[in-house]
Amino acid sequence: MVGSGWSVLLPRHCAVCNAWLPAETEWMIACDSCALDWPELHAGFGSMVMKERCRMPFAAMGFRLRTRGELNAQLGAIKYGGNRWLAKQWGNWLGHRVPRLASYSQPLVLVPVPLHWRKQWKRGYNQAEWIARGLSQAWRCEVASSALRRLRHHSSMTGMNRVDRVGIVRDLYQVESPGLASEIGIVLVDDVMTTGATLSACGNALKRSGLNWLGGITLALA
Ligand SMILES: [Zn+2]
């Protein structure tokens, strides 16, 4: 049930308090009273920070991540809680908050940042891919899930600084789909951006293969 009909078939409720959501707010993730408690989302400022970290022309995010709180719990459920449908729902929300690149008239494709196959096998899915699927519904574009491949597995980069991370991820990603035409604009999708090292490494791999990397979008900026 991967098609666009799932949101019609399933009852829609707030991801935080489980209250029913009215049908006309199909893309909303939370009810008004829950969303009112969220911190300022700082999306415009966040995209400036992201552009600086990755030197990419297009950058966007859904919200700024705090160490505690509901949004952090939502990310945990997406990443470790096995909730791929929640990831898709958040992706759809993201696509309604951030307009599709209006300045780019060529076809657009979303490329999720890949997990190493072993990690994906353990987790059962790649959360970035499901965010991309939700986003693609809102933006009406394709998702190329296997365009990139992660070559090695590392336990975690949490706690590392940018220099360490850049060194580790530099040649970590490889383009798997040379079939993507060079005029197709590619936007990378991930759940969280921390130092930007991962998005940079993926973007550089795309550029090295002669592909048209436009930038990246993440649900959260850490
Ligand atoms: Zn609620």
Mean pLDDT, consecutive 10-residue stretches, the chain (222 aa), reads 45 82 76 75 80 89 80 89 91 90 85 94 94 95 94 74 74 84 93 92 94 94 88
Q: Rounded to the nearest whole angstrom, what is the distance from the C-alpha of residue 100 to the centroid of ligand 1?
A: 27
What class does CATH assign to 41-221?
alpha beta
> Domain segments of the chain: what residues?
41-221
CB of 98 closer than 8 Å to CB of 217: yes
What distance in angstroms lies between residue 12's CA and the mean position of ligand 1's atoms?
Answer: 11
**37 CA to centre of ligand 1 in angstroms:** 10
What global pTM score does this model have? 0.85
Query: Mind giving me the DSSP string for 153-209?
Result: --S--TT--HHHHHHHHTT-EEE--TTS-TTSEEEEEEEEESSSHHHHHHHHHHHHT
Amino acid 4: pLDDT = 44
Strand order in the sheet with 212-221: 58-64, 212-221, 185-193, 108-112, 142-143
Which pLDDT score is estimated for 144? 95
